[in-house]
Amino acid sequence: MAEHDIPRATAKRLPIYYRYLKLLLDAGTTRVSSNELSDAVKFDAATIRRDFSYFGALGKRGYGYDVKALMTFFGEILNQDTLASVALVGVGNLGQALLNFNFHQSSNARISAAFDINEDIVNTIQAGVPVYSLDDLEKQISDQRIDVAILTVPAPVAQDLANRLAKAGVHGILNFTPLRLDVPSDVRVQNVDLTNELQTLLYFINNFGGAEA
Amino acid sequence: MAEHDIPRATAKRLPIYYRYLKLLLDAGTTRVSSNELSDAVKFDAATIRRDFSYFGALGKRGYGYDVKALMTFFGEILNQDTLASVALVGVGNLGQALLNFNFHQSSNARISAAFDINEDIVNTIQAGVPVYSLDDLEKQISDQRIDVAILTVPAPVAQDLANRLAKAGVHGILNFTPLRLDVPSDVRVQNVDLTNELQTLLYFINNFGGAEA
């Protein structure tokens, strides 16, 4: 298997496949066709077959795919057996919502530390997660071997915090700020730009009408 | 200008260009090169030049692009002069955070109505937005001519609410639930799957190391 050669678009669909396969297995389904999967995840069946073929997972004609085998296989690719500790930097409204958002239920990641400057919540537990002072960022990231951070701070301080996170050893940043971050080449940034999502939707409706993205 | 022919990836970058051009203009910058824009928005300069060329916006060699002209032009494409009213369906933790998230500050949309079943908040104002009972969904969407809804409800009720929204005349749904929605062909769904974003980031770090997406 040449994981390094799979297209980025395929990689992005893997967690979705994984979750639906888990649902199917929990419901007692043992096999599934690409058409059935297509109905559930809303990618066309040809895309699904091509995606799976990158991993050498080939369905049998008239049988489809073995749900458990496929799920186990994708689970390994996605490292579902190891639990990743994630830092949340910025416990404002959005940060608070993400603390309450149960990532762990449907993924292999949990927020294990939150950071803020607000004295009212520093040294408290919010939604089960300890909130540390931003002064403790480097120490906690090192102590807890945190590799990934969720950034939900005001835009003006985002770059400075990205610098500190990268220096502290974080390799992945889920960036909810509108700022596009400058990071060293060994750090990956995934932008979740909510304003942009809404504007893109409005743009498509105004210019192209409906039809799913 | 053949707006219908532009690639989806280009369309998704328009709001980002628009916002940076606005920042530049606010800062008194009158012209910008594709390389400078590239530094700010983190798309490569060739991509930017190609994107702009779809709209016939061609920079002059040695001069670059006129910031104001470009911003006005993109603003028109993005309908920045009309304010879109948006419904928020589901005022839980994430819904509450989105109410507080100031979409309007940097986009042409505002949440004008929220809906929930929680008696404690129905008929109250949350973050400046009236919260209605879900029973009033159809009436308010019709009265306020709402075209777009943000869906932040528990997954088990998401499809039912998508059906009601579509029937009520909504043409765009920003879907924060993990469910992939079935909608009529004149409704567009944009999925914001936070668990998936985090898992994709973890997958890339584990398999490819850093480097920006």
Mean pLDDT of B153-170: 96
Residues of A with CB below 8 A from B12's CB?
A: 196, 200
Integer-rounded Cα Rg, in Å, for chain B is 20
**Residue-by-residue DSSP string for B17-39:** HHHHHHHHHHTT--EE-HHHHHH
Mean pLDDT of A61-87: 83
CB pairs < 8 Å spanning A and B: 214
Lowest mean pLDDT: which of A150-154, B31-35, B134-138? B31-35
Asked whether B94 and B111 are in contact (CB, 8 A), the reply is no
- C-alpha B84/C-alpha B107 separation (Å) is 9
- C-alpha B74/C-alpha B78 separation (Å) is 6
b/e A145-181 (16+ beta carbons within 10 angstroms → b)? ebbbbbbbbeeebbeebbebbbebebbbbbbbbbbbb
Residues of B with CB below 8 A from A12's CB?
A: 196, 200
Query: Which domains does chain B carry?
Result: 8-77 (1.10.10.10), 84-196 (3.40.50.720)
Mean pLDDT of B156-165: 97
Instruction: Report pLDDT digits (tens) over A152-205.
Output: 999 899 999 999 999 999 999 999 998 889 999 999 999 998 888 888 888 888
Q: Is B23 on the interface with A (CB under 8 A)?
A: no
* Interchain CB distance below 8 Å, A199 and B174: no
Residues 148-207 of chain B whose Cβ lies under 8 A from any Cβ of chain A: 148, 150, 171-172, 174, 178, 180, 183-207
- Is the predicted pLDDT of residue B37 greater than 50, yes or no? yes
Mean pLDDT of B70-99: 87
pTM of this structure: 0.75
Q: What pLDDT does residue A82 have?
A: 76
Q: What pLDDT does residue A53 have?
A: 85
Q: What pLDDT does residue A1 have?
A: 42
- C-alpha B89/C-alpha B170 separation (Å) is 12
Task: Say yes or no: ipTM exceeds 0.90.
Answer: no
- C-alpha B204/C-alpha B211 separation (Å) is 9
Extended strands (E) in chain B: 31-32, 65-66, 84-89, 109-116, 125-126, 129-133, 148-151, 172-175, 188-191
Q: What pLDDT does residue B88 have?
A: 97
Strands B188-191 and B125-126: unpaired
Q: Give the residue from B109, B92, B4, B13 showing the smallest Cα distance to B52.
A: B13
Tell me what the pLDDT averaged over chain B comes to: 87
- C-alpha B110/C-alpha B150 separation (Å) is 11
- Is the predicted pLDDT of residue A211 greater than 60, yes or no? no
Sequence letter at residue A47: T
